[in-house]
């Protein structure tokens, strides 16, 4: 039985795997992955933003191997060094005072939602509503899909969790209108990722900060995708000069290993007490050793300047594509979206056939999360593959129209 058949037989069918990679991704190094036939791909999706420092970064691999030989797990009944050192690192580089460790983005957001509800109880008696944005994405657990402002993720799992309301992203008034005596928090992604790569406007985030201060609400930023250097700053909120009360991280933080963090500041950091929240694997020594190595990489001198520079370069190259079906180039740093008038899935498939991995969201938006170590030559190579794919898709669409008209 080949692997694809085994996958069909033994794995619950929740994923649309990319067809055509023969038969699976076998190896990764830096910005490249190889399939089992030996074909090389330039990876501009990076495991959905996880392998931000390139595949198998030697510093991360070394830290993981060293820690795995020493202690792989101890549980949170005990103190472990990598976890505590990582907490200190996150706190010393951010606006947060304390952190909680989990294993994924959804788990980090669940922690933030629980914290916000408890905060609402303490400060207002029974405030439990959280306002999130339409088109947002916060994960797949029940509260996280409810926080996610996209009805398609709720469908089939109703009743969803009580107490979520949805404002229009980048429309401060629409958030202001939703605040009631029951509101405890506002939660947004500074750059919406899965919803289509939409950066927040500075006035919007500053306005949310003001609203939260005026109404005694927690401002929560989901930085699961846009954090850890992706936008050219260590945390995306730094681009806006707005500090949240709570922010969440996952994806790139572990350099390839699963980890999630909820970081909290001031009063928010003191809300949860022993026994109120926990995670067996949270703060696992190996994942934390990887994340400590990631912190050394991302905070090395010049690293974030490189990300910002490459982000500007990549977006400029996309703007210069001059292909008819390009509608808009969006993004911040190396979190980049290209909206097209055409079949995005077909473009992504053509790119893959020609050795470039990208992701299509919502049918028409191409999402790029290249490794932060990417250079101009690799960006040029990716843009060339993309140009050919876009031209190919444009040609196919024109042929289709001619066919419809019987020409």
Ligand X SMILES: Cc1ncc(COP(=O)(O)O)c(C=O)c1O
Site residues for ligand X per CB under 6 A = 48, 104-106, 109, 137-139, 189, 193-194, 222, 224-225, 250
How near is the Cβ of 186 to ligand X at its closest, in Å?
A: 15
Cβ closest to ligand X, residue 224 vs residue 261: 224
Please confirm whether the linkage preceding 370 is cis (ω < 30° from 0): no
Active-site residue flag, 222: yes
| Residues whose CB falls within 8 Å of the CB of residue 216, separated by 6 or more in sequence, listed in order | 123, 124
Active-site residue flag, 251: yes
How near is the Cβ of 124 to ligand X at its closest, in Å?
A: 26
Give the nearest residue (CB) to ligand X: 105
Cβ closest to ligand X, residue 290 vs residue 393: 290
How near is the Cβ of 286 to ligand X at its closest, in Å?
A: 17
User: Which is catalytic among the residues 43, 44, 221, 251?
Assistant: 251
Among residues 194, 200, 19, 24, the alpha carbon closest in space to that of 109 is found at: 194
How near is the Cβ of 187 to ligand X at its closest, in Å?
A: 10
Give the 3-state secondary structure of the chain: CCHHHHHHHHCCCCCCCCCCCCCCEEEEEECEEEECCCCEEEECCHHHHCCCCCECCHHHHHHHHHHHHHCCCCCCCCCCHHHHHHHHHHHHHCCCCEEEEECCHHHHHHHHHHHHHHHHHHHHCCCCEEEEEECCCCCCCHHHHHHCECHHHCCCCCCCCCCEEEECCCCHHHHHCCCCCCEEEEEECCEECCCCCEECCHHHHHHHHHHHHHHCCEEEEECCCCCCCCCCCCCHHHHCCCCCCEEEECHHHHECECCEEEEECHHHHHCCCCCCCCCCCCCCHHHHHHHHHHHHHHCCCCHHHHHHHHHHHHHHHHHCCCCCCEEEEEEECCEEEEEECCCHHHHHHHHHHCCEECEEECCCEEEECCCCCCCHHHHHHHHHHHHHHHHHHHHHHHHHHHHHCCC
Q: Which residue has the tokens 């229009």?
A: 168
Cβ closest to ligand X, residue 80 vs residue 104: 104
Q: How far apart are CA 198 and CA 191, in angstroms?
A: 6
Identify the sign of the CA torsion 39, 358, 188, 162.
negative
How near is the Cβ of 134 to ligand X at its closest, in Å?
A: 14
User: Which is catalytic among the residues 44, 137, 204, 281?
Assistant: 137
How near is the Cβ of 377 to ligand X at its closest, in Å?
A: 29
User: Which is catalytic among the residues 222, 245, 349, 364?
Assistant: 222
Diameter of the chain measured on Cα atoms: 74
Cβ closest to ligand X, residue 83 vs residue 132: 132
Cβ closest to ligand X, residue 109 vs residue 325: 109
Active-site residue flag, 137: yes
| Residues whose CB falls within 8 Å of the CB of residue 404, separated by 6 or more in sequence, listed in order | none
How near is the Cβ of 372 to ligand X at its closest, in Å?
A: 16
* Cβ pair 150, 135 in contact under 8 A: yes
Cβ closest to ligand X, residue 129 vs residue 189: 189
How near is the Cβ of 140 to ligand X at its closest, in Å?
A: 6
Catalytic residues: 137, 222, 251
């Amino acid at each position: 039985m080949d692997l694809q058949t085994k996958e069909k037989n033994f794995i619950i069918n929740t994923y649309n795997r990319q067809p055509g990679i023969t038969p699976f991704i076998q190896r990764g190094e830096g910005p490249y992955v190889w399939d089992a036939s030996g074909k090389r791909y330039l990876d501009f999706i990076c495991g959905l933003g996880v392998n931000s420092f390139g595949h198998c970064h030697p510093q991360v691999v070394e830290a993981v191997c060293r820690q795995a030989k020493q202690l792989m797990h101890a549980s949170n009944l005990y103190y472990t060094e990598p976890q505590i050192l990582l907490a200190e690192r996150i706190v010393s580089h951010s606006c947060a005072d304390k952190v909680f460790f989990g294993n994924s983005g959804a788990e980090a957001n669940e922690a933030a939602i629980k914290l916000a509800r408890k905060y609402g109880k303490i400060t207002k008696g029974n405030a439990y509503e959280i306002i999130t944005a339409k088109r947002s994405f916060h994960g797949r657990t029940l509260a996280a899909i409810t926080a996610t402002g996209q009805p398609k993720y709720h469908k089939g799992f109703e009743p969803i969790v009580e107490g979520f309301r949805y404002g229009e992203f980048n429309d401060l008034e629409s958030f202001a209108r939703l605040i009631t005596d029951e509101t405890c928090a506002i939660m947004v992604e500074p750059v919406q990722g899965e919803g289509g790569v939409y950066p927040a406007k500075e006035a919007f985030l500053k306005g949310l900060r003001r609203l939260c201060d005026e109404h005694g609400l927690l401002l929560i930023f989901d930085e699961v995708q846009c954090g850890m250097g992706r936008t050219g700053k260590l945390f995306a909120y730094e681009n806006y000069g707005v500090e949240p009360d709570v922010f969440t991280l996952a994806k790139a933080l572990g350099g390839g290993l699963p980890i999630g963090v909820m970081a909290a500041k001031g009063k928010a950091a003191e809300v949860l007490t022993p026994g109120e929240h926990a995670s067996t694997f949270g703060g696992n020594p190996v994942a934390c050793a990887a994340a400590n190595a990631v912190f050394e990489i991302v905070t090395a001198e010049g690293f974030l300047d490189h990300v910002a520079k490459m982000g500007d370069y990549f977006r400029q190259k996309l703007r210069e594509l001059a292909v008819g079906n390009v509608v808009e180039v969006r993004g911040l740093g190396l979190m980049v979206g290209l909206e097209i008038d055409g079949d995005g899935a077909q473009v992504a498939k053509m790119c893959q056939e020609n050795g470039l991995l990208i992701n299509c969201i919502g049918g028409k938006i191409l999402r790029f999360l290249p490794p932060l170590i990417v250079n101009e030559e690799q960006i040029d190579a990716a843009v060339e593959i993309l140009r050919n794919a876009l031209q190919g898709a444009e040609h196919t669409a024109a042929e289709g129209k001619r066919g419809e008209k019987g020409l």
